[in-house]
């Protein structure tokens, strides 16, 4: 009761701060509550359509879809270009990566952001937001303050979130769709497609910074963090929500930076040491990204990713013992996602960068090896050498380097 009263007080406080900030400069008020959750009022009541799309002169629709395990996800649709001409090309679903949400496709200028560019080129644009992010934090029976709300990893994103969003867009439009994923959004797709999940509604998939194998990641910090998390799995499993900027994660990262002797003092340098040095992201874009804030994810999801770094496999979440795996999967080791069972005629566009520490070129080669039977004319690879992980969504020149080729690929499929 005590903590409920507390969060009520804090909610009222945030509400008052937001109201008083309204009309003035948009100031992100962030309050660190007792349990480490941040409450931010920045655009909190208006949603992505109002705050980021309509402000640029585009029409936009807010939608929600409920997954079969009860998570209520928001989707934004941009049904027409800036000129007002309604889309005459197929729907495209954009799926963001971890710590991010749909804002990542909109944060640059309309001529630089994939969400707007696709709309201006006649595509019916749909933006997904995975469970746990700010605009997809609803659930039919749980709240983000319940540990059970955070009981998932990317297994569930592939098994529930992706199918729900794809089915919803299909039902609304009556058309098969193109898929664009970045980072974790590629892993969700590869995992789902390897089980033929949702494929009957997919026209093609463009995977930016593909993640399937992670054992070659070049970032010392990422490796140290992964090994350390697995070593302390019991502690971490008690945290439920992995919140960048929250106390547990901040202390953890400070410790890792210290033992690896890496300077993590600014957000920009931290991004560079983890995801690779971006070639082409302007400081104002980084500021805008920081304004929308990193999004939380489940600690279980981070542990699952850490397992991939250590084990070099693309498999389901490892419960840590043969008994526990037997209980969940009926076998002592977690079932593997078989990349070779992705249908050979699924049109695939893989874009990966030479400076990407997370989607490392060596790991992408492993994925390419698993796809070696793929129809040659259905697999396109783009390799901008200067690109790091975040350049694919945020670089000022991604319109020419990546998005034009993607639209060329779509027009063939």
Specify the residue, 173 or 344, whose C-beta has the smaller distance to ligand NAG. Answer: 344
Q: Is 212 exposed, middle or buried (CB count within 10 Å of its CB: 0-12, 13-18, 19+)?
A: buried
Stretch of 114-122, 143-151, 167-175, 178-186 lying at the interface with ligand NAG (CB under 6 A): 143-151
Q: Which residues contact residue 9 at a Cβ distance below 8 angstroms, ignoring those fewer than 6 apart?
A: none
Total binding residues toward ligand NAG, as defined by CB under 6 A:
8
State yes or no: residue 284 binds ligand NAG (CB under 6 A).
no
User: Which residue is catalytic, options 74, 124, 389, 391?
Assistant: 389
Stretch of 5-13, 145-153, 169-177, 180-188 lying at the interface with ligand NAG (CB under 6 A): 145-153
Instruction: Give me the 249-278 binding string for ligand NAG, x by CB under 6 A, dash otherwise.
Output: -----x---x--------------------
Q: Is 356 a catalytic residue?
A: yes
Give the separation between CA 113 and CA 111, rounded to whole angstroms: 6
Q: Which of residues 174-193 bind ligand NAG (CB under 6 A)?
A: none
Angle, CA 187 vertex, CA 186 and CA 193 arms, to 5°: 85
Specify the residue, 26 or 338, whose C-beta has the smaller distance to ligand NAG. Answer: 338
Q: Which residue has the tokens 């991010």?
A: 100
DSSP assignment string, 31-74 = EE-TTS-EEE-TTTTTHHIIIIIGGGT---EEEEEE-TTSEEEE
Cβ of residue 35: shortest distance to ligand NAG, in angstroms?
A: 17
Strand partners, 62: 76
The first and second tokens of residue 273, run together, are 């040491």
Give the separation between CA 330 and CA 345, rounded to whole angstroms: 32
Stretch of 58-66, 100-108, 336-344, 360-368 lying at the interface with ligand NAG (CB under 6 A): 336-344
From 27, 148, 381, 412, residue interacting with ligand NAG (rule: CB under 6 A): 148
DSSP assignment string, 337-356 = P-GGGS-TTS-EEEE--TT-
State yes or no: residue 151 binds ligand NAG (CB under 6 A).
yes
User: Which residue is catalytic, options 100, 113, 153, 183?
Assistant: 183
Specify the residue, 344 or 397, whose C-beta has the smaller distance to ligand NAG. Answer: 344
Answer for the pair 188, 330: CB distance below 8 angstroms, yes or no.
no
Cβ of residue 342: shortest distance to ligand NAG, in angstroms?
A: 9
The first and second tokens of residue 97, run together, are 């990566």
From 167, 266, 341, 400, residue interacting with ligand NAG (rule: CB under 6 A): 341
Q: Which residues contact residue 138 at a Cβ distance below 8 angstroms, ignoring those fewer than 6 apart?
A: 64, 71, 72
Count of beta carbons in the 10 Å neighbourhood of residue 123: 23
Helix axes 220-231, 299-311, angle to 10 degrees: 110
State yes or no: residue 338 binds ligand NAG (CB under 6 A).
yes
State yes or no: residue 321 binds ligand NAG (CB under 6 A).
no
Cβ of residue 340: shortest distance to ligand NAG, in angstroms?
A: 4
Stretch of 170-178, 290-298, 333-341, 383-391 lying at the interface with ligand NAG (CB under 6 A): 333-341
Helix axes 267-275, 220-231, angle to 10 degrees: 90
Q: Is 389 a catalytic residue?
A: yes
Strand partners, 74: 64
Q: Is 183 a catalytic residue?
A: yes
Cβ of residue 224: shortest distance to ligand NAG, in angstroms?
A: 14
The first and second tokens of residue 313, run together, are 């496999």
Q: Which of residues 199-218 bind ligand NAG (CB under 6 A)?
A: none
Specify the residue, 149 or 410, whose C-beta has the smaller distance to ligand NAG. Answer: 149
Footprint of ligand NAG on this chain (CB under 6 A)? Answer: 147-148, 151, 254, 258, 338, 340-341
Catalytic positions, written as ranges: 183, 356, 389
């Amino acid at each position: 009761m005590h903590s409920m009263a507390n969060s009520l007080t804090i909610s009222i406080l945030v509400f008052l701060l937001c109201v008083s900030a309204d009309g003035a400069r948009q100031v992100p008020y962030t309050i660190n509550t007792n349990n480490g959750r941040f409450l931010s009022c920045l655009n909190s009541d208006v949603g992505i359509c109002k705050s980021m799309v309509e402000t640029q002169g585009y029409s936009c629709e807010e939608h929600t879809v409920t997954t079969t395990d009860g998570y209520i996800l928001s989707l934004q649709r941009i049904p027409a270009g800036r000129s007002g001409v309604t889309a005459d090309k197929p729907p495209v679903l954009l799926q963001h990566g971890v710590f991010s949400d749909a804002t990542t496709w909109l944060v640059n200028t309309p001529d630089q952001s994939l969400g707007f560019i696709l709309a201006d080129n006649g595509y019916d644009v749909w933006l997904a937001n995975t469970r746990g992010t700010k605009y997809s934090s609803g659930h039919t029976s749980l709240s983000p303050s319940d540990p059970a709300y955070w009981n998932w990893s990317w297994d569930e994103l592939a098994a529930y979130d992706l199918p729900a969003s794809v089915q919803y867009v299909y039902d609304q439009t009556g058309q098969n769709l193109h898929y664009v994923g970045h980072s974790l959004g590629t892993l969700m797709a590869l995992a789902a497609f390897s089980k033929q999940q949702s494929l009957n509604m997919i026209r093609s998939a463009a995977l930016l910074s593909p993640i399937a194998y992670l054992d070659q990641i070049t970032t010392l910090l990422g490796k140290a963090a992964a090994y350390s998390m697995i070593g302390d799995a019991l502690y971490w499993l008690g945290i439920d929500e992995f919140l960048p900027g929250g106390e547990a994660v901040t202390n953890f990262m400070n410790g890792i930076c210290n033992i690896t002797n890496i300077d993590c003092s600014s957000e920009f340098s931290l991004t560079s040491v983890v995801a690779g040095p971006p070639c082409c992201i302007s400081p104002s874009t980084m500021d805008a990204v920081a304004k929308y804030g990193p999004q939380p994810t489940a600690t279980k999801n981070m542990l699952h990713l850490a397992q991939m770094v250590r084990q070099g496999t693309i498999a389901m979440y490892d419960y840590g013992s043969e008994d526990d795996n037997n209980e969940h999967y009926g076998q002592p080791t977690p079932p593997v996602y078989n990349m070779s069972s992705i249908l050979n005629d699924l049109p695939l566009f893989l874009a990966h960068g030479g400076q990407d520490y997370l989607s490392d070129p060596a790991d992408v080669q492993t994925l390419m090896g698993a796809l070696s039977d793929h129809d040659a004319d259905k697999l396109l690879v783009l390799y901008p050498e200067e690109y790091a992980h975040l350049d694919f969504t945020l670089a000022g020149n991604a319109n020419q380097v990546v998005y034009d080729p993607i639209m060329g690929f779509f027009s063939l499929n």
